Structure 1
Amino acid sequence: MSKVTHWKRFTLVFVLALLGLTVLTGSVWAEDVFQGSVIGSGETIESDVIINGNEVTLNGAVDGDALAIGRVVTVNGNVSGSLIAIAETVIINGSVEGSVYVAASSLELQANSAINRSLYFAGIGLNAETGSQIGRDLRAISLGAGLSAAVGRDVKAVIGIGRIINLILNNIDWKAGRFEARLPSEKSALLAYNQPELVGDVEPAMVMEGARYEGRSDSLRQSEQPAQAQIIGGWFLQRGRQILSFLIVGGLIIWLIPGLFAQWAAQAQNRPLASAGYGLVVFVMGNAGVFVAGAIVGAVGLFLAYIYLGKLALVFWGVGFSGLLFAFSVLIAFVSYISKVIVAYLMGELILRRFSSRAAERKLWPLLLGVIIYALLRAIPVLGWVIGLIVTLLGLGAVWMAYSSKKQATVNV
């Protein structure tokens, strides 16, 4: 079977599955989808709604949740549930009894607007006028903002390109080589907007009585000088968790796919430089590919919604983003665990063969020795990060080369 025929069949199956899901879910959503882009004043929709168009206007009432997609989304009425809005501009001048989730270039909370629960915003500009109310929390990432809303509880926001960059840099654990996403919640995070790196004129949010700020500064004050015993105990605990995680992953791989695991280790041993090179390509292209594919899925879904195919857009997003989430999870598993296990096993096997070939043949002992050595080396400041990077690239490249060799052998046959 030719590659062209294979891809044709795959495309056909995908389209049929997508259409099948649309048909199956059509009866469920038939009463929930509002046909049109305007809900007029005095009109009440007693169900969840999906409303889309160039200019989406909600002047009436929705007794349920609302999903609004368009160029401009304006909410002047009432939504008894939560509101999800994806648009270039979102204007809220009514009330939402649930939470509001907005992805847009700009969001305007006008003076009469009221959000009973929380607001989540990601975009370029956020303007909350005096008189607007947010019952619970405000979570936002934006290039510029004017915040004069009354907020019931916590405000966690990153405003300005400089602060967004700082957020990314400050959340990277350079020693552990990982990124941990967290928004600043200290009051200073919202009051220091007059710094040159921020964009726009920003006013601090008014916080209602009883509101609280809980940030890292509080936790640091509680334990500014941890005891030496705690530091040592924490170090051993972290190493133990790391070793246990690698042993579990490695043991499962050796048990489930021992032959394939042996091929990966052989590639890393026989062609280490090529493995590292291919590993770098896989790492960069894998991450970039996931984000590009995500942008394509999002854009196609928005286009479908724009031409009044809201149900199909939701199905497409569900299938597309679920597949991307699975692919990204697999990539993370290979980057974080499997690549390390491959090289650690190879290292343990090479060491054991110098002393006892019988012990080296029992795959558990090389794995245990290699994982312990890797965990100790990885704990070295700076050098450990370099070792971790090299090991990751070697393991990823070995997997790719083994896959390519097997694929080439199949083609030749």
Structure 2
Amino acid sequence: MQIRSFTILLLVCVLLSIQPALAFTSYDVEEDMEILQQIDDDVYAAGGALQINSDINGDLVVTGGNITVNGDISGDLIAAGGTIAIRGNIADDVRIAAGKLTISGSIGDDVIAGCSQIILEENATIGGDLVAGTDKAYLYGDLAGNVSGNFGTIILGGNVAGEMDIDADNIQTLPDATFQGERIISTDTYPGQTESDENGYGFIDIVFWLLRYIMLLLTGWIILYLATNSIEDMTFQLTDKPIHKTLAGLLSLLGILMGSILLAVTMIGIPPALILFLILVFLLYCARVIAGLWLGKKLFGWLDRTTTRWQEMAVGIFILLLLGSIPYIGWIVYMVATLLSTGAIYYLLKEKVRNRPA
């Protein structure tokens, strides 16, 4: 599967998983969770430590700290977390963003992963391609397709039926490793770059896209927990006076940026300038979370589905980032959403200050 089509494929996966003709089961918890009974729906789950100990006849979309999939999944697996272990069998594709990924079962089709470490254990199999960006990869299992991407260190101990087209700093081949396709170690590109980077859809771009999505999810989780009512108010009133809010958002961001620059030119002003800059970064994240939550609410409202705020936010942010990835016009969508949401934050703070008792 070509890397340049990955964004389109992700959008298709999301739209297929939420179309009106399909049902889904959702879980939104702050602590540990375990799924023990078979589910004949798509499943969306978020929590701390998640144990999937039953079969799921559908897709599994999950995010959490530690994720363990012991059951079999008849559809796709899309997961983001700290540590992810796949011990069951996944019938279709796998999309992963994690610190560490361990695959002990079988994957029916492609695996696309951005991780610090990937382990494909000895009896594990991947039925399609492996496209990865990782510091360390231990591939002891068998792959029916191609291996491509960027690797720091890659240790090969299984069978690769397809081609290997990779950027790697260190490659170790164990005695039991076999190769049926061609081995190509890229040396004519910059570190972390692949051929498709020329068209703006390089592998590192995809990894950073996934990291941005995870960071926005974590930020959204925090602000939803700390300021649920305020976020809800801004979301519901986001499209009121859109021009005024967009201008207010632009002026607010420029004001904070210029203030941090002016403070930074003096030695005594460097600490407050850094604080102001961090506030600016957090404000940008909050604005995109609000825009994503608004998109999620609109989408699920159109589908006439009852959902949690977490699901609305997760799907909405996903769609916002996808829209922002559209060539030529994506940056406009992303900028307008950011400015509009920043303006909503400004108006809410202004109202709170105005209504504060003297």
Task: Find the structure with the greater CA-based Rg.
Answer: 1
- Flag the structure with higher helix content: 1
> Higher relative CO (CA 8 A, sep ≥ 6), structure 1 or 2?
1
Q: Which has the higher strand share?
A: 2
Tell me the TM-score normalised to structure 1 length. Answer: 0.41
